[in-house]
Amino acid sequence: MSLAHRACKRAPLLAALMATTSLVPHGAKAQDAQAVTLPVIDVSTPLTLLYQQPTGQTETTVPRQNVLTNTKAFSTWEALRDSPGVTLKQGNGARDVGISIRGSNARNGFGIRNIVIYEDGFPVTQPDGLSRGDLIDLHAYSGIDVIRGPSSALFGNYATGGAVNFRLRRGSEINGLDVGTEGGSFGYLNNYFAYGSHGENWDSSVFFSNIIGNGPTNHNLFNTQTLNFLISYEPTPNDRFFVKGINNTLYNDLSFRLSLNQFYQNPYQTNCYDAASSPLGCATQNFLVNGRNGARVPLTAFQSGAKREDRRSILGLRWEHDIDNDTVFRVQAVLDDKRINQPTGVTSAIGGEPAFNLVTDITGKGKLFGLDTLYFGGLYANMESQTSYSYFVKPGGNANLGSLNTVTPSRQSNWGLRSRAEVQLTDTLTAVAGIAAEYTTLVGTQLAYAYPATGPLAGSVTTRTTEANNFYLNVAPEGALLWRPVQEWQVRGRVGTGYGTPNVGNLFTLPDGSPGNNTQLKTQTNVGFDLGVTYSPAPNIFLDVTGFYEFFSNEIVSQVVINPTRGQQSFFFNAPKSEHRGVEVLGEWQFLPGWKFRAIYTYLNQIYTEYTENLAFTPVGQASRLASFNRAGNWIPGVVPNSLTLRLGYDVPDGPLQGLGAFAEYFNNDSYYIDNGNLLRLPGYQIVNLNFHYNTELTNNFFHKIGGFFEIRNIGNATYIAGGNNITNTLNAQGVQNGAAVLANSTGSIYAGFPRTFVGGLKLTF
């Protein structure tokens, strides 16, 4: 019996799913409903549909044919810019990209926070809320689902901004072997393969890539290998098993972040090898000569050996069982292990972070007051243990470790329940209601070491202990209405809630960057209102517009602090009240055969409405004092107010040149503040890319498809800021805030983006 025949046994449930779950993403053309049909394996997996495209949610699917083929696939930057509401920033490494939905992650210094990342429905975000983008290779995926807005009712802790689900290509989609290579400027080379096969009751796909190269900034060599696979097996018509695996190893030399003035002087840190003889604009940090205290010496990132050496391994198993034609039971377990070695500055973070995630739930079709209803309910639990060691780095190169700085053993656990109902009120109106409750425990101890200024080390080391034993209970309801009055229109309104607890690492850094007690941090929560309209009056026109207004309480905000003893640190604090509002627009117009115009626009207006910041200053000859500043009405730093993507392309629709195409892209990112006082603004930028590509099918050959592309990126060779971290305002001796001229010398903020680059690729399908 084929998989398609087995799927027919579940026809009542599948029909309900398709009626209540929009298979046309809010970001794909309504007229392409049949083109968006999911592979057979997906159709027999109802819960995956629920996670990919929850009814009433503001969502965009980035399909493979848009930006995952025929173009450079260096990092998540190349794909997720195709979704409104998403902004991106450069993280710690050339391929480490911070993903932000509605400004959710814009204020964090590295990694991805405040959104939840999945692959094929398996969590890639660890229980402490951290995800990394550099274990992702876009060549592996058939599509990416971007779910926008507070979504903790469905996705739990840390989904204050939404969720992203990456979908690996199925074996039936690959149906053979794809072998590809792409490379270009700065030594970039990515060799990859994808193998897929399938049978009557199984499907398997495996992807592997090896990526090497340099970022544009001096001392930015990277080398990463990624293995990704998904296997499904259906031993009976009512049972399906899925095995998911990801393994990523990463080596990345790191440059130090610049101040704004250093960026203007030397954006790519050219010739920044030796601090004593470096040109202007080279970032340095002050390292302890003996590796524990006393005298310091400035070193460049090249001299110190700043780098990241990380490994991430994920193994997941899911069992789905059809209790009857209308009910599916699921159990899913994921083991997730992360090992880090990160001498990124004057200190080095070393440790292991094993995690476990368990989910069990039921999805089914029934009646509520005589109305067709899709219901969902389940339990989940996850836990992460960490033992984090921080060492001082001392001169000598190759991240020469000195004495211990801090040791922090900790554990975070989350467990909760969630439920959801999607009710078909009429043929054109669907209502959604859901709720989740979650209990989070943070337990940890920080030992901070202090060393004698002079004399022998033995017997004179002191430690300061800080304990954390925090408990949080959070509840997240949601409700939505989806109205389809006619085929051309879809209107959706939604009220969603989100919550994000602190993680253990937030609890042990004081405002001056020194170790200490910051355990008073509270959970950040948000309530968001969405109103969206999708309009497709003709097969060649699509428009989707969403307005949102979100109210945050105790928003967790971070800023960079330069501590004289421990170097660059991140301090986290709660802003009592803030408001996030904005507009997201996606439009597409196929105005002539083969021609397509696409526009993506995001407007973000995010302000503090209640927040008083206390800053320290030292009057001449007096003790340190605090001055208070009311930040209400100020823009939240790090958030880009306006971003725009335009793409105009042409693909030969038929004839002997079919498969030949080209497109031009234009990106415009607005300037934005990076301090709470709104005194220093980083400049915006405009980028233009040009792409040429060709794909064709061959007959009577060993391989049956061939594809290739060539791109010129950043044609105008613009020098721009790809990532800027927030900085702390400072005061002069009179307690007055230093202006932009002083803040422009604050280091630890800026990475420059890629200058003009040339990239080409070739792929063969066997």
Average pLDDT over every residue of 220-242: 96
The residue ranking higher by pLDDT, 621 or 663, is 663
Q: Compute the distance between CA of residue 80 and CA of residue 330 in angstroms, rounded to an integer.
A: 30
pLDDT in tens, 106-118: 877 778 999 999 9
In 3D, which of 308, 299, 253 has the Cα closest to residue 276? 299
Give residues with Cβ within 8 angstroms of 533, minimum separation 6.
489, 490, 491, 492, 544, 545, 546
Average pLDDT over every residue of 651-679: 95
Residue 10's alpha-carbon distances to 239, 318, 325, 364, in angstroms, are 12, 19, 5, 11
The residue ranking higher by pLDDT, 529 or 70, is 529
Whether 96 shows a pLDDT value over 60: the answer reads yes
Beta bridge partners of 622: none
Q: What is the pTM of this model?
A: 0.91
Average pLDDT over every residue of 273-288: 93
pLDDT in tens, 18-32: 233 332 333 333 333
Whether 12 shows a pLDDT value over 60: the answer reads no
Whether 2 shows a pLDDT value over 50: the answer reads no
pLDDT number for residue 19: 31
- The answer to whether 205 and 196 have CB atoms below 8 angstroms apart is yes
pLDDT number for residue 15: 32
Whether 493 shows a pLDDT value over 90: the answer reads yes
pLDDT number for residue 51: 63
Helix (H, G, I), strand (E, B) or coil at 41: helix
Using a 10 angstrom Cβ sphere, with 0-12 exposed, 13-18 middle and 19 or more buried, the burial of residue 279 is exposed
pLDDT in tens, 207-216: 999 999 998 9
In 3D, which of 589, 611, 759 has the Cα closest to residue 677? 611
* Domain harbouring 336, CATH code: 2.40.170.20
Helix (H, G, I), strand (E, B) or coil at 94: coil
- The answer to whether 589 and 596 have CB atoms below 8 angstroms apart is yes
The single-letter DSSP state of residue 12 is: H
SS (H, E, C) 338-366: EEEEECCCCEEEEEEEEEEEEEEEEEEEE
Average pLDDT over every residue of 96-114: 87
Average pLDDT over every residue of 11-17: 32
Beta bridge partners of 178: 194, 765
Helix (H, G, I), strand (E, B) or coil at 426: coil
In 3D, which of 311, 308, 385, 316 has the Cα closest to residue 349? 308
Q: Compute the distance between CA of residue 282 and CA of residue 295 in angstroms, rounded to an integer.
A: 21
Average pLDDT over every residue of 94-110: 87
pLDDT number for residue 126: 95
pLDDT number for residue 702: 74
Average pLDDT over every residue of 679-697: 95
In 3D, which of 431, 443, 563, 416 has the Cα closest to residue 507? 443
The residue ranking higher by pLDDT, 408 or 566, is 408
pLDDT number for residue 30: 34
In 3D, which of 439, 441, 315, 437 has the Cα closest to residue 378? 437
pLDDT number for residue 623: 83
Average pLDDT over every residue of 42-67: 67
Q: What is the mean pLDDT of the chain?
A: 88
Residue 470's alpha-carbon distances to 25, 72, 347, 577, in angstroms, are 40, 45, 27, 22
Q: Which tokens is 95 given?
A: 């391929």
pLDDT number for residue 629: 94
The label of the residue with tokens 């219901």 reads 375
Give residues with Cβ within 8 angstroms of 208, minimum separation 6.
192, 193, 225, 226, 227, 228
Average pLDDT over every residue of 602-622: 91
Q: Compute the distance between CA of residue 147 and CA of residue 124 in angstroms, rounded to an integer.
A: 15
Using a 10 angstrom Cβ sphere, with 0-12 exposed, 13-18 middle and 19 or more buried, the burial of residue 654 is exposed
Q: Compute the distance between CA of residue 695 and CA of residue 704 in angstroms, rounded to an integer.
A: 11
Whether 42 shows a pLDDT value over 80: the answer reads no
Whether 81 shows a pLDDT value over 60: the answer reads yes
Average pLDDT over every residue of 150-165: 95
Of the pLDDT bands very low, low, confident and very high (cuts 50, 70, 90), residue 39 is: very low
Q: Residue 738's CB: how many other CB atoms inside 10 A?
A: 18
Per DSSP, which regions of 102-201 are E strands?
116-119, 122-123, 141-148, 162-168, 176-184, 188-198
Whether 45 shows a pLDDT value over 60: the answer reads no
Q: Which of 169-183, 202-216, 448-462 has the lowest mean pLDDT?
A: 448-462
pLDDT in tens, 720-743: 999 999 999 999 999 999 999 999
Q: Compute the distance between CA of residue 94 and CA of residue 305 in angstroms, rounded to an integer.
A: 16
pLDDT in tens, 373-424: 999 999 999 999 999 999 999 999 999 999 999 999 999 999 999 999 999 9
Q: Residue 402's CB: how many other CB atoms inside 10 A?
A: 22
Average pLDDT over every residue of 224-241: 96
Residue positions counted in the chain: 766
Of the pLDDT bands very low, low, confident and very high (cuts 50, 70, 90), residue 705 is: confident
The tally of domains found in the chain comes to: 1
Q: Which of 45-49, 172-176, 352-356 has the lowest mean pLDDT?
A: 45-49
The residue range of the domain holding 384 is: 3-765
What is the end-to-end Cα distance of the chain in Å, rounded?
27
Q: Compute the distance between CA of residue 343 and CA of residue 118 in angstroms, rounded to an integer.
A: 28
Q: Which of 10-19, 583-592, 706-715 has the lowest mean pLDDT?
A: 10-19
Of the pLDDT bands very low, low, confident and very high (cuts 50, 70, 90), residue 560 is: low
pLDDT number for residue 16: 33
Give residues with Cβ within 8 angstroms of 218, minimum separation 6.
255, 268, 269, 270, 271, 272, 273, 301, 302
